[in-house]
Amino acid sequence: KFKHGIKEVKEFLEKLANRGKVDPLSSNFAQYLDENDKLKYLRYEFSIPKSRDVVTDKVEALSPEEECMYFCGNSLGLMPKRARELISQELDVWASSGVVGHFKHKHNRPWVSIEDTVVEKMADIVAKPIEIAVMNTLTSNLHLLMASFYTPNTKKTHPAKELIKVTPPEGESIVPLNSILEIIEKEGHTISLVLFSGVHYYTGQFFKMKKITQAAQKKGCIVGFDLSHAVGNVVLKLHKWGIDFAAWCSYKYLNSGPGGIAGIFLHEKHANDFNRPRLAGWWGSERKSRFKMDQQFKPIPGASGFQVSNPSVLNVVSLLASLELFSRTSMVNLRAKSILLTGYLEYLLDKQLNGLGFKIITPRDPHQRGCQLSLKFFERSVQEKVHKELMSYGAVVDERSPDIIRIAPNPMYNNFSEVFRFVRALKVVIGDIGVKD
Amino acid sequence: KFKHGIKEVKEFLEKLANRGKVDPLSSNFAQYLDENDKLKYLRYEFSIPKSRDVVTDKVEALSPEEECMYFCGNSLGLMPKRARELISQELDVWASSGVVGHFKHKHNRPWVSIEDTVVEKMADIVAKPIEIAVMNTLTSNLHLLMASFYTPNTKKTHPAKELIKVTPPEGESIVPLNSILEIIEKEGHTISLVLFSGVHYYTGQFFKMKKITQAAQKKGCIVGFDLSHAVGNVVLKLHKWGIDFAAWCSYKYLNSGPGGIAGIFLHEKHANDFNRPRLAGWWGSERKSRFKMDQQFKPIPGASGFQVSNPSVLNVVSLLASLELFSRTSMVNLRAKSILLTGYLEYLLDKQLNGLGFKIITPRDPHQRGCQLSLKFFERSVQEKVHKELMSYGAVVDERSPDIIRIAPNPMYNNFSEVFRFVRALKVVIGDIGVKD
Ligand SMILES: Cc1ncc(COP(=O)(O)O)c(C=O)c1O
Ligand SMILES: Cc1ncc(COP(=O)(O)O)c(C=O)c1O
């Protein structure tokens, strides 16, 4: 559904309001949407911050005891309550058994294979288990993967410059698919690696990953993606799309906590290719012989063969707490709610605040964005004041100089009533500040 | 003190026994040593596993409720009790404030600079703060550092083989310093990077890091060390010794928990050298401009400039819990106790079990080893049985095929009475099994 973008979402929302016999601009409609939200139970699995705890110095919380409107999962996802329990269990094992926890574990998560507890659940979100490893942090994973996959040769080195950056047309924010495809068409024969983000951190644009991949591979390029803002946000079919490799962090839409363990994807077609260079480590070597220390590196087929070190147990189970929640639904269901939730935000912004000092730079087509909307203010730096004022209303969003506010309603824990309250607060704030049109 | 090795330690122990008016082979002597141990308070800061929790399948704990003899800190250090508290505080901040924890933190550890909580304390153990970063895992750090420091050029490439391995003489376990120095003398002009371990994981040999470094640097080599078994175990003066770089894990003698965050050392002389290749990341870029996303990498001078990703908060504070304990004493004090504790183990092994089926392959000179003693059994594979039987007595040690048992009394939490009980248990076990001489 929603094949044709925002117009359809708007019409769908109005149809729903009509069906519920409520004014689509009233708080009753938000309530109606919440009541009919099949995923609403997930919110109760998270710790929702209160207003008083999210204000920073010199900002007063207007309703300190109220739950805040947390739209910052694009930066750090909220804490699944279960994280506390799982972490506490691991500390118990460490406290009571020390090194023995590697082999015997009262909760059946022996540390020697702790990554097994998350790989399949992670795979459910993006690809096949053999294609997934959970390891390190995002940037180090990008380095490890590029060491294998960025292998320029003389034929394939761009003559003028090493790096071709794709930028939006002058004065615009969104990169049209055609610009990307044109560059690939024109320069592809000189390009070794096409590295793109899935969802852009700043604009929220969701790139046409499949089309980019196919065009680039036709030219003989390797294609990799940084999926930090895409994983857990949009439906990803990394295997089917034929992407070569990808990496992501887990502290955003995967709610694993600050600096949580990262993930990689390596397409199955590369699972048994051991000829590329590789920055290898013992944790990527066959389990059977790993502890023999015979100085033989026998890579595990697939993504696991790229593991270098034994992973942080605390970080793995912190991620597990969140993935258990993903397992209770599906990315398809989450995405369906997400499109509606962000569409509702957009609908209210358009209807209630249209032209009030900002424009939405995120694509209007739900299929070209994730859950995030980026507002660009016409007045430079005013976003700082808006951000600060919103805080006193208990709204947690994210500001980026020179003029951007990012709002990311997360279908896992956000609801429609919050979106309603948020837009109302934003309207007051913009009025109070006197933001220039 | 103990300039001349084991003989002196033995004499010192006997002098102490004499002073305490106890038989040096009696349990009273162990008790006497414990009573006079100025660091004994540290043990109570750790969770000591009980016998019942460290036995694996098919092994029965003889005294299930007794504290076990945990000599496996060379593999995984025990849990400082404070880790639970610090981790719980971070979960509280995550739960109550979400992303705001990066800037406002009720325990004064804002996540945006969470690494600051451990860098100085880590530096106290090995070098100067500007030389230290806490990041990633050990093997990935070795890759990152080697990407910068392994830069062979045509003049400096070994003609016959890329990698020169230094091995002990035929039939021996220890690598004499002279063999190392000879190779450096002979081949140094062709060697780009000398990479050594500080304390050898298998034999426990503590290499003469300063001498190796000086000899290699005289030949124009870069010198790096893997200090996983050395840090927190022996006194390290990385700055003074002029070592170029080093990396280590923190889950062994630094007690940070399974897969804890790792550390790197970059000598101050390289702090402002930005000309080497570097696998860089935003977390290594100047704090002031880091969030500007202007695509300029402005490396922080020193080791911090090698950081690539925002670090795991849970892992940082888990390490902090342990470093707080190191701050209550000093490596010099810990090492003094360690030499005595391991010396006492060696003394009892020699006196009570001499020749009973094994020999100690770790250097006899306390200055050429850390806290670990490696026993090599004459009968192959018997170490598995010994290891299993020891478990029923509540002794946690580590076995490595084909014939090694590693015993690592940790001065932080182990005491002399445990060592006494351990040797008594080992004697019984060896007798019961009928280990061949
Ligand atoms: C000497 C040495 N180097 C490297 C490693 C690998 O460590 P990691 O898995 O933390 O990268 C170990 C692990 O025990 C080790 O003992
Ligand atoms: C798109 C993108 N790439 C990379 C990173 C860096 O992540 P890390 O610090 O986990 O390596 C981020 C962090 O927010 C990001 O948003």
Q: Is the CB of B75 under 6 A from ligand 1?
A: no
Q: Is the CB of B213 under 6 A from ligand 1?
A: no
Task: Report yes or no: A401 at the B interface, CB cutoff 8 Å.
Answer: yes
> H or E segment at A375?
strand A373-377
Is residue B46 helix, strand or coil? strand
- Number of neighbours of residue A404 by Cβ within 10 angstroms: 19
Q: What is the pLDDT of residues A251-295, one digit of tens each?
A: 999 999 999 999 999 999 999 999 999 999 999 999 988 888 788
Q: Nearest residue of B to residue A291 by CA position? A: B400
Rounded mean pLDDT, B339-352: 96
DSSP per position, B368-383: GB-S-EEEEESSTTHH
Q: What is the pLDDT of residue A204?
A: 98
Rounded mean pLDDT, B323-338: 97
Q: What is the pLDDT of residue B428?
A: 96
Q: How far apart are CA A343 and CA A360, in angstroms?
A: 12
Q: What is the pLDDT of residue A159?
A: 47
pLDDT-derived band at B400, boundaries 50, 70, 90: very high
Res. B6: pLDDT tops 90: no
Of ligand 1's listed atoms, the one at least distance from the Cα of B140 is 11
CA of A228 to the centre of ligand 2 (A): 6
Task: Report yes or no: B151 at the A interface, CB cutoff 8 Å.
Answer: no
Tokens of B137: 């895992």
On chain B, the residues whose CB falls within 8 A of the CB of A49 are 95-98, 100
Task: Report yes or no: B67 at the A interface, CB cutoff 8 Å.
Answer: no
Interface test with B, best of A75, A97, A163, A256 (most B CBs within 10 A): A97
Weakest-pLDDT range from A326-330, A374-378, B378-382 = B378-382
Q: Is the CB of B139 under 6 A from ligand 1?
A: yes
Q: Which residue has the tokens 């993606």?
A: A225
CA of A310 to the centre of ligand 1 (A): 8
Q: How far apart are CA B363 and CA B377, in angstroms?
A: 16
Task: Report yes or no: A293 at the B interface, CB cutoff 8 Å.
Answer: yes
Q: What is the pLDDT of residue B159?
A: 47
Q: Is the CB of B312 under 6 A from ligand 2?
A: no
Yes or no, beta carbons of A72 and B98 under 8 Å apart: yes
Q: Is the CB of B227 under 6 A from ligand 1?
A: no
Q: Is the CB of A283 under 6 A from ligand 1?
A: yes
* Percent of chain B residues topping a pLDDT of 90: 88
What are residue B266's DSSP bridge partners?
Answer: B245
Point out the residue among B47, B70, B311 whose CB comes nearest to the CB of A259: B311
Q: Is the CB of A205 under 6 A from ligand 2?
A: no
On chain A, the residues whose CB falls within 8 A of the CB of B291 are 400
Q: What is the pLDDT of residue B266?
A: 98
pLDDT-derived band at A5, boundaries 50, 70, 90: low
Q: What is the pLDDT of residue A292?
A: 81
Preceding omega of B402 cis (within 30 degrees of 0) = yes
Res. A59: pLDDT tops 50: yes
Q: Is the CB of A141 under 6 A from ligand 2?
A: no
Res. B229: pLDDT tops 60: yes
Q: What is the pLDDT of residue B368?
A: 96
Q: Do A168 and A198 form a contact (C-beta atoms < 8 A)?
A: no
Res. A360: pLDDT tops 60: yes
Preceding omega of A402 cis (within 30 degrees of 0) = yes
Rounded mean pLDDT, A416-431: 97
Q: What is the pLDDT of residue B367?
A: 94
Rounded mean pLDDT, A233-240: 98
Res. A300: pLDDT tops 80: yes
Yes or no, beta carbons of A49 and B314 under 8 Å apart: no
* Nearest-neighbour CA in chain B from A242: distance (Å): 27
Rounding to the nearest 10 degrees, give the CA dihedral for residues B327, B331, B333, B338. 130
On chain B, the residues whose CB falls within 8 A of the CB of A83 are 91
Contact residues, B window 357-386, toward A, CB-based 8 Å cutoff: none
What does DSSP assign to residue B150?
Answer: -
Task: Report yes or no: B92 at the A interface, CB cutoff 8 Å.
Answer: no
Point out the residue among A144, A202, A313 whose CB comes nearest to the CB of B257: A313
Which residue, by CA, sits nearest to atom 2 of ligand 1?
A: B228
* Percent of chain A residues topping a pLDDT of 90: 88
CB under 8 Å, gap of 24 or more: what pairs does B155-164 form? B156/B189, B156/B190, B156/B191, B156/B192, B156/B220, B157/B190, B157/B192, B158/B187, B158/B190, B158/B191, B159/B190, B164/B191
Distance (Å) of CA B317 to CA A91, B80, B88, B90: 13, 11, 10, 8
Distance (Å) of CA A243 to CA A149, A151, A192, A261, B431: 12, 17, 14, 22, 61
Q: What is the mean pLDDT of chain B?
A: 94
Q: What is the pLDDT of residue B155?
A: 63
What does DSSP assign to residue A162?
Answer: S
State how far Cα A190 lies from the chain centre: 31
Rounded mean pLDDT, B401-415: 96
Task: Report yes or no: B98 at the A interface, CB cutoff 8 Å.
Answer: yes
What does DSSP assign to residue A285?
Answer: B
Q: Which residue has the tokens 């109550």?
A: B96
Cα R_g (chain B), whole angstroms: 23
Total CB pairs under 8 A between chain A and B: 218
What does DSSP assign to residue B166?
Answer: P
Point out the residue among B53, B96, B202 whose CB comes nearest to the CB of A97: B53
Task: Report yes or no: A100 at the B interface, CB cutoff 8 Å.
Answer: yes
Weakest-pLDDT range from A333-337, A353-357, B74-78 = A353-357
State which of A132-141, B283-292, B351-360 shows the largest mean pLDDT. A132-141
Which residue, by CA, sits nearest to atom 8 of ligand 2?
A: B309
Res. B158: pLDDT tops 60: no
Yes or no, beta carbons of A96 and B49 under 8 Å apart: yes
Task: Report yes or no: B70 at the A interface, CB cutoff 8 Å.
Answer: yes
Q: What is the pLDDT of residues A70-93, one digit of tens each?
A: 999 999 999 999 999 999 999 999
Of ligand 1's listed atoms, the one at least distance from the Cα of B262 is 10
Contact residues, B window 117-136, toward A, CB-based 8 Å cutoff: 136
What's the sign of the alpha-carbon dihedral B276, B278, B280, B284? negative
Point out the residue among B136, B202, B315 whose CB comes nearest to the CB of A140: B136
pLDDT-derived band at B296, boundaries 50, 70, 90: confident
Task: Report yes or no: B107 at the A interface, CB cutoff 8 Å.
Answer: no
Q: Is the CB of A197 under 6 A from ligand 2?
A: yes
Tell me what ipTM this predicted complex has.
0.97
Rounded mean pLDDT, A106-135: 98
What's the sign of the alpha-carbon dihedral A141, A146, A148, A149? positive
Q: Is the CB of A75 under 6 A from ligand 2?
A: no
Q: What is the pLDDT of residue B3?
A: 60
Q: Is the CB of B111 under 6 A from ligand 2?
A: no
- Strands B193-197 and B222-226 turn out to be parallel
* Nearest-neighbour CA in chain A from B379: distance (Å): 18
User: Do you know the residue count of chain B?
Assistant: 437
CA of A100 to the centre of ligand 1 (A): 17
Cα R_g (chain A), whole angstroms: 23
Rounded mean pLDDT, B257-271: 98
CA of A137 to the centre of ligand 2 (A): 9
